[in-house]
Structure 1
Amino acid sequence: MSDTRTRIPSPTPLPEHFFQQDARQLAVALLGKVIRRRLNGQWLAARIIETEAYLLEERGSHASLGYTEARRALFMAPGTIYMYYARGGDSMNCSSLGEGCGVLLKSGYPVVDTLSPADSLAQMQALNPSASGGVRAPERLCAGQTLLCRSLQIRVPDWNARRFSADQLLLDDDGYQPSQVLRAPRLGIPTGRDEHLFYRWVDAAYSRHCTRNPARRGQIEGQHFHNLKLETAQQQAQQESRPC
């Protein structure tokens, strides 16, 4: 008789065809999905609350600078992990439909559930302590692209140009969907490199916990950001993906 006490529940990864979308559509579709990373016998987990889309033809993307070995993942099949170093830390993306296009997983929020219990959250906090070495609050654990990767121990040498793995690192759909989505320009794009494009999407319910809240004080709705129903955000992304 098998010992069920050591059996670890397994999440169900998103199907391969999920990634066969334009980067803008994929960026919206990824909101609410859960990144699960198996480490030391536990599934660490964070819900994706912020994404950014990048296209080959616009100047804000890495791919627009040309093909290199380090960027090869963006030119590989949709759903390939693309990682690079940003601000001294690891940053995670995945390729989408269209050569050179992809989505940056910009920030997340820790998930505690049957698959990823409280012990998993404690492990994430141990991996990503505060600047003073103390315990980082859950809402700040994954509030940025490098913090997200640090909390889940997802590193460039281990995962760049690889596929998601059902037993190590995957994206999971637990049924949650945002009801409202904030759309805004991407962060950190240099002047003159298509910094005006509204290619950043944030789950409005978690906007206070993303990299930078698009709806923070001083920001004007309709000028600095748009507050959309999920269906409207999906429709806009689909319309923009159609060839002219």
Structure 2
Amino acid sequence: MQNPETLPWATARPLPDSFFQRDARELACALLGKVIRRRYQGRWLSARIIETEAYLLEEKGSHASLGYTEARRALFMDGGTLYMYYARGGDSLNFSAAGSGNGVLIKSGHPLLDTVSDQASLRLMQQLNPAANGDYRPAEKLCAGQTLLCKALALKVPDWNAQRFDTGQLFVDDDSYRPQHILQTTRLGIPAGRDEHLPYRFVDASYARHCTRNPMGRNRIEGRDYQRLNAPWKAC
């Protein structure tokens, strides 16, 4: 149990290291609904995790399958180590899971307003991640993608790759929210021939229209394009 004297606020519930010591697919489901808390410029920025992708060492879609490098070392470290890399010209956030080479990509989130993060926090996130024309990006689109999420939370590869959580700067909080349903489907952007068929992408159904790509979108059929999972997510 976390020492109350080290908590950033009295009701904070940082996920313990043991939370991440599980199969990457199970972890990808368990992370849905949890809140990334980031202290920046004197404010707490918060985003609820709504979309994740699991990656395993033995499958061809994972970075770890390409072999150990200094840049990828976080994936071979204990569960709960941050792995960050560059994708599509931006930064991407991952957490290592149980087993060497396994991890979870935080694919998208949704800004959270509560007693910790108020409208001023949201405004700061919008300033960090403006629209292409310089206007404030709508809240529902602010973290709708892995690089957008990192930009809105001011998370950079050089600062956080291979680092551990720090309750004073960055951690994952459990505010007791639980998804009612989880959607399971194939991952996005996996090249042909690199296990693109594996259903290792997971989405909180309540936020599906705010994620990178809605699994329930137009012309998509349940049972063919995605599965709906029920608690406690054993199918993961």
TM range (shorter): over 0.9
Query: Which stretch shifts more, 9-18 or 72-81?
Result: 9-18
Aligned equivalent of 1:156: 157
Counterpart-to-counterpart distance in 2, 1:79 and 1:131: 33
Name the counterpart of 2:234. Answer: 235
Q: 2:45 is matched with which residue?
A: 44
Superposed displacement of residue 110, structure 1? 0.2
1:191 aligned partner, one-letter code:
A
SS at match of 2:116: coil
The aligned amino acid for 2:147 is T
Q: Which amino acid aligns with 2:128?
A: L
What's the offset of the Cα at 1:144?
0.2
Gaps of 5+ in 2: 1-7
Distance 2:229 2:200 in 1: 14
Code of the aligned partner of 2:23: D
Q: Distance in 2 between matches of 1:24 and 1:18?
A: 13
The one-character-per-residue Cα deviations of 1:26-79 (angstroms, maximum 9, x if unpaired) are 000000000000011111000000000000000000000000000000000110
Q: Match of 1:21, as an amino acid?
A: R
Give distance in 1, aligned partners of 2:108 and 2:132.
Answer: 18
User: What residue number does 2:143 align with?
Assistant: 142
Give the Cα–Cα distance (whole angstroms) in 1 for the partners of residues 160 and 14 of structure 2: 17
**SS of equivalent residue, structure 1 residue 82:** strand
**2:126 aligned partner, one-letter code:** Q
What are the equivalent positions in structure 2 for 1:176-195 lying under 5 Å apart? 176-195=177-196
Q: Which residue in the other structure is 1:58 paired with?
A: 59
Matches within 5 A, 1:93-104: 93-104=94-105
Mapped to 2, the partners of 1:77 and 1:183 lie a distance apart of: 26
SS at 2:213 equivalent: coil
Q: Distance in 2 between matches of 1:214 and 1:230?
A: 19
More helix by share: 1
Gaps of 5+ in 1: 1-7, 238-244
TM-score (norm 1): 0.92
Aligned partners of 2:69, 2:76: CA distance in 1, in Å? 10
Is contact 1:73-1:81 (8 Å) kept? yes
Count the aligned residue pairs.
228
1:228: Cα distance to partner?
1.9
Whole-Å separation in 2 of the counterparts to 1:157 and 1:230: 37
Q: Aligned-pair distance for 1:220? A: 1.3
SS at match of 1:236: coil
Normalised TM-score (structure 2): 0.95
Contact 1:184 1:226 in 2 (8 A): yes
1:118 Cα shift?
A: 1.2
Q: What is the correspondence of 1:1-244 to structure 2 with a 5 Å cutoff?
A: 9=9, 11-231=12-232, 234-237=233-236
Asked whether the 8 Å contact 2:229–2:235 carries over to 1, the reply is no
Return the offset for 1:218. 0.8
Q: Is the 8 A contact 1:12 1:166 kept in 2?
A: no
Q: Distance between the aligned counterparts of 1:38 and 1:225, measured in 2?
A: 36
Give the letter aligned to residue 9 of structure 1. W
